[in-house]
Amino acid sequence: MAAPRLFRVILPVADIERAADFYRKVFLDDGERVSPGRHYFDCGGTILACYDPVADGDGDRGQWRLEFFYFAVTDLDAALERVRSAGGRVTQEIKRMPWGERMFYARDPFDNRISFVDATTVFTGTV
C-alpha cells in the first residue's frame, strides 16, 4: 500500500485579499483565486489554501485551530526578508536546530504560525 500524500493544507485567514497579497510576496508567486474565499498556492505539490470562511459564506474563523506550517525554500535569508517586508512577524531568527535543519519561525498577518527551512537541510526522520 502506498503512503498517503498530503496534497492540500487549509490556512484560515480573516481577509482573503490581504492573505493572497502576503503569500504572493513571500512565495514570489501569484497563486490562484479558486472561490471568493479561497486562494491556492502550489507548494511543490501540496496546495496551501488560504481560506476566508466569511468570504466563502461558511461562517467565522473561530472553529479553526492550526499549528506550524513548514515551507522548504532554496534561499532562507531571502525568505526571511520577504516575510518581514510583506508584513509578517519573525518570532525566531534563523538558527540551526539540533536535528540539523537551518530555519526560522514567523507569524503571518493573521497570527498563523509559519516556518521556513533551508531546503538543503530538510529532515524528514528517515536515515
| CA–CA gap between residue 94 and residue 80 (Å, rounded) | 8
Asked whether residue 92 is domain-assigned, the answer is yes
Per-residue pLDDT, 127: 44
Asked whether residue 37 is domain-assigned, the answer is yes
Under 8 Å between Cβ of 108 and 114? yes
Per-residue pLDDT reduced to its tens digit, 95-104: 999 888 999 9
51 Cβ partners below 8 Å, 6+ apart? Answer: 10, 11, 12, 13, 16, 37, 38
Range of the domain at 35: 8-54+66-121
Number of domains in the chain: 1
76-85 and 16-27 helices cross at what angle (nearest 10)?
Answer: 150
Q: Average pLDDT of the chain?
A: 89
Band of residue 66 on the pLDDT scale cut at 50, 70, 90: low
Q: What is the CATH number of the domain that holds 77?
A: 3.10.180.10
Which is it for strands 46-51 and 8-12: parallel, antiparallel or unpaired?
parallel
- Residue 75: CB atoms within 10 Å: 12
